[in-house]
Amino acid sequence: MAIPMPPAAALRVLLIDDGAHRVRLVAEALILQGHQVVGVLDEATRIQAAVEELRPDVVIVDAESPSRDTLEHLALMHERAPRPVVMLADDAASQTIRAALRAGVSAYGVPELQPERLAAVLAVAQERFAQDRSLREELNAAQLELATRKQIERAKGLLMQEQGLSEDAAYKRLRKLAMDRGETLASVAQRVIAAAELLRG
């Protein structure tokens, strides 16, 4: 008899029992779908270490109502080693859901262990996590670009002040230095600023 192969989208899942004590049922539902349960925790304090050690694709928290400790440790994990997080909880209060989402939870729902429902929740969590990460990367890129522009403007200002150059001439000087040294404009601007600060210091 042939052994059924796991689906292409098989996931490594870390389960957290936050007091609801249904993780065995959740684990069975996951395994039936071809996923691998890489660990089961019964205390929130070990979430960060477990994620770093086991490297799950998804974290599922099963709770009656997510505890403050659990949300704090999820928020810490979200900062240091972000993963899609599914919260299965009996507490459907809007403030609880908001607190969970602020802690980095990607999908929040009342426990529903039918395979097709669990699969849909996992898919939502992964998609929302991917969208959030993409938005964070775009924001970081925009902030970096803004910081770079400010540095270039500051370096231009220093050249204009110290060498009596026009704005256009100062920019051309920076660009020529960058080309001559094979460096980026931002890197040369940083050098100009550092040199001016050193002289002033």
pLDDT tens per residue across all 201 residues of the chain = 444 444 447 899 999 998 777 888 889 889 988 999 999 998 778 898 999 999 999 999 988 888 888 899 999 998 889 999 999 888 888 899 999 999 999 998 776 656 567 878 888 888 888 888 888 888 888 888 888 889 989 988 888 888 888 888 888 888 888 888 888 888 888 888 888 888 776
Query: Looking at residue 37, what is its pLDDT?
Result: 94
Residues 20, 22, 23, 26: what is their CA dihedral angle, to the nearest 10 degrees?
-130
Radius of gyration of the chain (CA): 25
Query: Looking at residue 8, what is its pLDDT?
Result: 45
Query: Looking at residue 12, what is its pLDDT?
Result: 95
User: Using a CB cutoff of 8 Å and minimum separation of 24, what contacts does 8-11 make?
Assistant: 10/34, 10/35, 10/36, 11/35, 11/36, 11/56, 11/57, 11/58, 11/122
